[in-house]
Structure 1
Amino acid sequence: MLGFTKTFENGNPVGFVILKRDQAELHLTLQPGHKPAPFNVAHMMVHDVDALHAICQRQGLRIIKKLQNKDYGLRAFVFEDPDGNRIDVGQPL
């Protein structure tokens, strides 16, 4: 959905995965019974926040905080992944 490629997985059923896109890596661990936190659990810095925002909208992901320029020097938004985790995305202004 966000353009990452799986580079590693472990377990049967799979319990750990590494995803890569450009120079970024995500290491994900399956946690049975996980309940999403009501706060941001990951922060991503990107080169084109507007493009990622558009992808999230096209995929129907819930936008928690709208895309806007922040007074702390980032253009940013927060979305919710399909499991309910909140991801904060920013790009330096």
Structure 2
Amino acid sequence: METTLSAPHGVSFGRLAPGLGVQDLNRSLQFYCGVLGFNKVFENGNPVGFVILKKDKAELHLSLNKNHKASVDNVAHLMVEDAAALYRHCTAQNVRIIKSLRDADFGLRCFVLADPDGNRIDIGEVLPNPRVEV
């Protein structure tokens, strides 16, 4: 069901990148770059308190927040082409898995991981012939 109260006429939307708070940027960079394969493409501050990471079409913004508390909700959703391969890679790298790999009735092969700060990221891959449109 789609609900639109008032759409901005003539405005085209571009990139939308989730921003995550982290307590330790170096630890987060080791995770996102070293484990997941992102590249740091921008940093700001002295000392650095903000970075932009990219991998393929995905972009992620990390902001240093020494008082960051993890949410029990997923803070980002990442679509991939091979969720099972990423799941195997993450488990081999001892990444904290919140929800195990499954084929969901909403048409995705998916799992949920947590970064070192507890930020939950929902990983999904569209299944061939999904029963539900995604």
Residues 68-77 or 14-23, more deviating: 14-23
Relative contact order: is structure 1 or structure 2 higher (C-alpha 8 Å, sep ≥ 6)? Answer: 1
1:9 corresponds to 2:56: no
Encode CA deviations 1:20-69: one digit per residue, 9 max, x unaligned. 11121111111220000111111111111112112211211111111010
Q: TM-score, normalised on structure 2?
A: 0.66
Query: Whole-Å Cα distance in 2 between the matches of residues 68 and 89 of structure 1?
Result: 11
Residue number among 48, 53, 63 corresponding to 2:87 in the alignment? 53
Q: State the SS of the aligned residue for 1:57.
A: helix
Q: TM-score, normalised on structure 1?
A: 0.93
Stretches of structure 1 that go unaligned for 5 or more consecutive residues are none
Query: Whole-Å Cα distance in 2 between the matches of residues 92 and 76 of structure 1?
Result: 9
Query: Whole-Å Cα distance in 2 between the matches of residues 19 and 48 of structure 1?
Result: 20
Identify the residue that residue 68 of structure 2 maps to in structure 1: 34
- Higher helix fraction (1 or 2): 2
Query: Whole-Å Cα distance in 2 between the matches of residues 55 and 13 of structure 1?
Result: 32
Q: Which residue type is aligned with residue 124 of structure 2?
A: G
Counting aligned pairs with the same residue, the percent is: 62
Structure of larger gyration radius: 2
Residue number among 60, 78, 98 corresponding to 1:44 in the alignment? 78
1:78 corresponds to 2:112: yes
Identify the residue that residue 64 of structure 1 maps to in structure 2: 98
